[in-house]
Amino acid sequence: MHNINVIKGDITKVKVDAIVNAANTTLMGGGGVDGAIHRAAGPALYNACEKFHGCPTGEARITGGFNLPAEFIIHTPGPVWHGGDNGEDQLLANSYQNSLQLADQHLCRTVAFPSISTGVYAFPLQRAAKIAIATIKNFLPTANYVDQVTMVCFDDRTFAAYQSQLY
């Protein structure tokens, strides 16, 4: 049974095989969820990310989880919103798709995502939630290992947006 669920909480405390980091293209830590994950994982994460020399928007890279309860951290830079006519929807879908593929390749059964690009990158929340849930729903039937995806929402507004897309 493939499951998607939506919870409100702190992604750095979720016990899953892999958490996804809404990273910037340098992968070297930043604000929001990215900074929180880097702080919680510890300084070894910075060193692990250095070897990638960044990551293009929509692609994904994987590291160990270090001091987090998750075994892996999947880093994906989501798109910055520029009005919607610059491929943002496809780039956001790619962030989810490529993260899920990496998780599957690393035999992860459980994956937790934050709301990618809806913070400082200003992607409209409802639009992002629709793309995220649709991409996850399309991926799950094709997965070899991934069978539980959790959207971890930071606040009530984000929780409501993702919850509304489940049905």
Residues labelled catalytic: 34
Report yes or no: 154 and 161 within 8 Å, Cβ to Cβ. Answer: no
Residue 151 · residue 5 · CB < 8 Å:
yes
- Residue 38 phi, psi dihedral angles, 5° rounding: -60, -45
Residues whose CB falls within 8 Å of the CB of residue 43, separated by 6 or more in sequence, listed in order: none
What tokens were used for 136? 């996850």
Measure the CA angle with vertex 42, ends 38 and 47; round to 5°: 80
CB 95 within 8 Å of CB 77: yes
SS3 state of residue 64 = strand
